[in-house]
Structure 1
Amino acid sequence: MLGALSKLLTDVTAAPLALEVPGVDEVRSTRAEMVDQLSDYVIPRLVQLEAPLLTVVGGSTGAGKSTLVNSLVGEQVTQSGVLRPTTRSPVLVHHPDDAEWFQPDRILPELPRTKAVTNDVYALRLAPSTGVPRGLAILDAPDIDSIDAANRELATQLLAAADLWLFVTSAARYADQVPWDYLGRAAERSTSVAVVLDRTHADAVVEVRGHLARMMTSRGLSDSPLFTVPESAVGEDGLLPREAVEPIRGWLRDLAADPEGRSAVVFGTLDGAVRHNVLRSHVVADGLDEQLAAARQLHDDATRTYAEAVDLLRRATADGTVMRGEVLTRWQEFVGNGELLRSVEERVSRIRDRLVDQVTGKRTRSAEVSEAVESGLQTLLVEQLEAAAEAVYRSWSSVGAGRALIASERGLDRASRDVRVKAERLVRDWQAEVLELVRAEGSDKRLTAKFLAFGVNGIGVALMVLVFVSGSAGLTGAEVGVAGGTAVVAQKLLEAIFGDQAVRRLAERAHTSLVTAVEALATAESRRYLDLVSDPAVIEASQARLRDAARRAEYARHIDFLDGETAS
Structure 2
Amino acid sequence: MITALVRLREALQDTALPLDVPDAESRRATRTEMVDQLEDYVLPRLIQIDAPLLAVVGGSTGAGKSTLVNSVVGARVTEPGVLRPTTRSPVLVHNPADAEWFQGARILPHLARTTGATDDAGSLHLVAHDAVPQGLAILDAPDIDSIEEANRTLAAELLAAADLWLFVTSAARYADQVPWGFLKAAAERSTAVAIVLDRTAPEAVDEVAGHLARMLTARGLRDSPLFTVHEGGLDDAGLLPPDAVAEVRGWLHGLAADTDARAAVVKQTLDGAIRSLARRSHDVADASTAQAAMVARLRTAVDDAYDEAITQVDKASADGTLLRGEVLARWQEFVGTGELLRSLETKVGWLRDRVVGWVRGKPHQAERVTVAVESGLESLIVEHAESAAERAEASWRSTKAGQDLVEDSGAGLGRASRGFRAEVERAVRDWQHGVLTLVREEGADKRTTARFLALGVNGLGIALMIVVFAHTAGALVGAEAGVAAGSAVVGQKLLEAVFGDQAVRRLAERAREDLNTRVQELIDGERRRYLDVLDRLGVRDGHADRIRAVAREVDDLRFAAAEAATSTHHHAGGATT
TM normalised by structure 1 equals 0.91
Query: Once the 2 structures are TM-superposed, how far is the Cα of residue 547 of structure 1 from its aligned partner?
Result: 1.7
Match in the other structure for 1:228: 228
Query: Once the 2 structures are TM-superposed, how far is the Cα of residue 282 of structure 1 from its aligned partner?
Result: 1.4
Match in the other structure for 1:527: 528
Match in the other structure for 1:503: 504
Match in the other structure for 1:553: 554
**Are the counterparts in 1 of residues 56 and 140 from structure 2 also a CA contact under 8 Å?**
yes
Query: Once the 2 structures are TM-superposed, how far is the Cα of residue 535 of structure 1 from its aligned partner?
Result: 10
Seen in structure 2, the aligned counterparts of structure 1 residues 116 and 421 have a Cα distance that, compared at 3 Å, is farther
Query: Once the 2 structures are TM-superposed, how far is the Cα of residue 76 of structure 1 from its aligned partner?
Result: 2.0
**Are the counterparts in 2 of residues 87 and 143 from structure 1 also a CA contact under 8 Å?**
no
Query: Once the 2 structures are TM-superposed, how far is the Cα of residue 348 of structure 1 from its aligned partner?
Result: 5.2
**Are the counterparts in 1 of residues 281 and 547 from structure 2 also a CA contact under 8 Å?**
yes
- Provide the rounded CA distance (Å) in 2 between the counterparts of 1:462 and 1:347: 13
- Provide the rounded CA distance (Å) in 2 between the counterparts of 1:97 and 1:454: 101
- Provide the rounded CA distance (Å) in 2 between the counterparts of 1:313 and 1:510: 15
Amino acid at match of 2:11: D
Amino acid at match of 2:449: T
| 2:60 aligned with 1:57 | no
Equivalent residue runs for 1:314-329 within 5 Å: 314-329=314-329
**Are the counterparts in 2 of residues 98 and 134 from structure 1 also a CA contact under 8 Å?**
yes
Seen in structure 2, the aligned counterparts of structure 1 residues 449 and 19 have a Cα distance that, compared at 3 Å, is same
Deviations for 1:164-215, whole angstroms, at most 9, x for unmatched residues? 1111112222222221111111010011111112222222222222222222
Give the fraction of aligned pairs with identical amino acids, expressed as a percent.
Answer: 57
Amino acid at match of 2:486: G
Amino acid at match of 1:82: V
- Provide the rounded CA distance (Å) in 1 between the counterparts of 2:90 and 2:559: 34
Match in the other structure for 1:432: 433
Equivalent residue runs for 1:111-122 within 5 Å: 111-122=111-122
Query: Once the 2 structures are TM-superposed, how far is the Cα of residue 398 of structure 1 from its aligned partner?
Result: 2.5
**Are the counterparts in 2 of residues 473 and 480 from structure 1 also a CA contact under 8 Å?**
no
Which segments of 5 or more consecutive residues in structure 2 lack a partner in the other structure?
Answer: 345-349, 570-577
- Provide the rounded CA distance (Å) in 1 between the counterparts of 2:30 and 2:54: 23
Deviations for 1:366-398, whole angstroms, at most 9, x for unmatched residues? 222221111110101111111112222222223
- Provide the rounded CA distance (Å) in 2 between the counterparts of 1:510 and 1:402: 39
**Are the counterparts in 2 of residues 305 and 388 from structure 1 also a CA contact under 8 Å?**
yes
**Are the counterparts in 2 of residues 80 and 87 from structure 1 also a CA contact under 8 Å?**
no
Seen in structure 2, the aligned counterparts of structure 1 residues 231 and 538 have a Cα distance that, compared at 3 Å, is closer
Match in the other structure for 2:152: 152
Amino acid at match of 2:236: E
- Provide the rounded CA distance (Å) in 1 between the counterparts of 2:36 and 2:406: 31
Seen in structure 2, the aligned counterparts of structure 1 residues 408 and 535 have a Cα distance that, compared at 3 Å, is closer
Bigger mean CA deviation after superposition, 542-551 or 409-418: 409-418
Seen in structure 2, the aligned counterparts of structure 1 residues 48 and 435 have a Cα distance that, compared at 3 Å, is farther
Match in the other structure for 1:215: 215
| 2:392 aligned with 1:392 | yes
Match in the other structure for 2:472: 471
Match in the other structure for 1:361: none
**Are the counterparts in 1 of residues 409 and 533 from structure 2 also a CA contact under 8 Å?**
no
| 2:418 aligned with 1:423 | no
Q: CA RMSD in A?
A: 2.6
- Provide the rounded CA distance (Å) in 1 between the counterparts of 2:520 and 2:172: 71
Match in the other structure for 1:143: 143
Seen in structure 2, the aligned counterparts of structure 1 residues 354 and 525 have a Cα distance that, compared at 3 Å, is closer
**Are the counterparts in 1 of residues 470 and 488 from structure 2 also a CA contact under 8 Å?**
yes
Equivalent residue runs for 1:10-409 within 5 Å: 10-86=10-86, 88-103=88-103, 105-337=105-337, 343=351, 345-346=353-354, 354-355=361-362, 357=363, 364-409=364-409
Match in the other structure for 1:512: 513
Give the secondary structure class of the aligned counterpart of 2:81: coil
Match in the other structure for 1:360: none
Give the secondary structure class of the aligned counterpart of 1:210: helix
Give the secondary structure class of the aligned counterpart of 2:245: helix
- Provide the rounded CA distance (Å) in 2 between the counterparts of 1:514 and 1:98: 76
**Are the counterparts in 1 of residues 59 and 179 from structure 2 also a CA contact under 8 Å?**
yes
Seen in structure 2, the aligned counterparts of structure 1 residues 95 and 509 have a Cα distance that, compared at 3 Å, is farther
- Provide the rounded CA distance (Å) in 2 between the counterparts of 1:565 and 1:446: 96
Deviations for 1:238-283, whole angstroms, at most 9, x for unmatched residues? 2222332233223222322333222221121111011112111112
Seen in structure 2, the aligned counterparts of structure 1 residues 124 and 450 have a Cα distance that, compared at 3 Å, is farther
Deviations for 1:340-360, whole angstroms, at most 9, x for unmatched residues? 597465465775x854x5xxx
**Are the counterparts in 1 of residues 355 and 497 from structure 2 also a CA contact under 8 Å?**
no
Give the secondary structure class of the aligned counterpart of 1:116: coil
The count of residues paired between Structure 1 and Structure 2 equals 560
- Provide the rounded CA distance (Å) in 1 between the counterparts of 2:136 and 2:477: 95
Give the secondary structure class of the aligned counterpart of 1:162: coil
Give the secondary structure class of the aligned counterpart of 2:57: strand
Which segments of 5 or more consecutive residues in structure 1 lack a partner in the other structure?
Answer: 358-363
- Provide the rounded CA distance (Å) in 2 between the counterparts of 1:567 and 1:74: 43
Query: Once the 2 structures are TM-superposed, how far is the Cα of residue 510 of structure 1 from its aligned partner?
Result: 1.5
Query: Once the 2 structures are TM-superposed, how far is the Cα of residue 467 of structure 1 from its aligned partner?
Result: 1.0
**Are the counterparts in 2 of residues 93 and 137 from structure 1 also a CA contact under 8 Å?**
yes
- Provide the rounded CA distance (Å) in 2 between the counterparts of 1:104 and 1:331: 83
- Provide the rounded CA distance (Å) in 1 between the counterparts of 2:255 and 2:470: 90
**Are the counterparts in 1 of residues 18 and 537 from structure 2 also a CA contact under 8 Å?**
no
**Are the counterparts in 2 of residues 271 and 561 from structure 1 also a CA contact under 8 Å?**
no
Give the secondary structure class of the aligned counterpart of 1:186: helix
| 2:453 aligned with 1:452 | yes
**Are the counterparts in 1 of residues 285 and 544 from structure 2 also a CA contact under 8 Å?**
yes
Seen in structure 2, the aligned counterparts of structure 1 residues 538 and 21 have a Cα distance that, compared at 3 Å, is closer
